[in-house]
């Protein structure tokens, strides 16, 4: 188990940058072994990661992780069980690898197949990818929703995290209860996805991915 958190906001970049370490450390119980951040001031993007070291225990496996030319970044929680088979296929296409992680396999799979890479992954995962070539943020969740992923959106702030407590540590988050979600909670004793207990805050549905780019936010089902 690991923890991921991040944001996309040019307007609030400075404040979010200052809060990113706090938000990342709010997930320390999910990843006590290591921590890292990625920041792109020009794009207004920041990622944080708390690591539970399972595959490739070396420093080479730390996150956020970049691809070979540094144009794609990932923050990832989970495990792709068939990553060795996917890696072998990608090596056949000429891709090279620096680590023994499934994280890097996801990066190279996205670089090769784009969004279609999601259909090849067998496992449990929630991850965020920043593609600077396309100026695009991708969030994705596994088929059954084993790994959690929340996101918060207003006109000038977009953020995401494995848990709500990390979102709360980032600037702009409003702890306004959603009345409809409250009714659902009282009826079911939990808040069904895609809602969360707070306004402007959602759970990414299992088997779905979200794209944030110049056209806005789009959520799509891949399974």
Residues assigned a catalytic role: 2
| Sheet with 34-40: strands ordered across | 34-40, 45-51, 3-8, 158-161, 150-153, 201-203
Question: Distance between CA atoms of 32 and 49, rounded to whole angstroms?
Answer: 11
Yes or no: say if 149 and 139 are a contact pair by the CB < 8 Å rule: yes
User: Are residues 20 and 8 in contact, defined by beta-carbon separation less than 8 angstroms?
Assistant: no
Please state, in angstroms and rounded to a whole number, the distance separating the CA atoms of residues 111 and 73: 11
DSSP per-residue string spanning 158-169: EEEESSHHHHHT
């Amino acid at each position: 188990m690991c923890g991921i958190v991040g944001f996309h906001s040019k307007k609030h970049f400075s404040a979010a940058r200052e809060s990113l370490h706090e938000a990342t450390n709010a997930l320390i119980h999910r990843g006590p072994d290591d921590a890292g951040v990625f920041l792109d001031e020009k794009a207004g993007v920041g990622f944080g990661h708390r690591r539970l070291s399972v595959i490739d225990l070396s420093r080479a496996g730390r996150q956020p992780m970049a691809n070979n030319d540094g144009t794609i970044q990932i923050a990832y929680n989970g495990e792709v069980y068939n990553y060795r088979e996917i890696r072998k296929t990608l090596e056949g296409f000429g891709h090279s690898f620096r680590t023994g992680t499934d994280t890097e396999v996801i990066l190279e799979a996205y670089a090769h197949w784009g969004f279609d890479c999601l259909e090849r992954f067998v496992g449990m995962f929630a991850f965020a990818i920043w593609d600077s070539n396309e100026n695009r943020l991708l969030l994705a969740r596994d088929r059954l929703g084993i790994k959690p992923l929340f996101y918060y959106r207003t006109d000038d702030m977009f953020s995401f995290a494995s848990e709500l407590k990390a979102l709360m540590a980032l600037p702009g988050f409003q702890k306004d209860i959603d009345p409809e979600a409250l009714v659902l909670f009282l009826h079911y004793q939990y808040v069904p996805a895609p809602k969360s207990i707070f306004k402007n805050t959602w759970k990414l549905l299992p088997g779905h991915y979200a794209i944030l780019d110049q056209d806005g936010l789009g959520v799509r089902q891949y399974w």
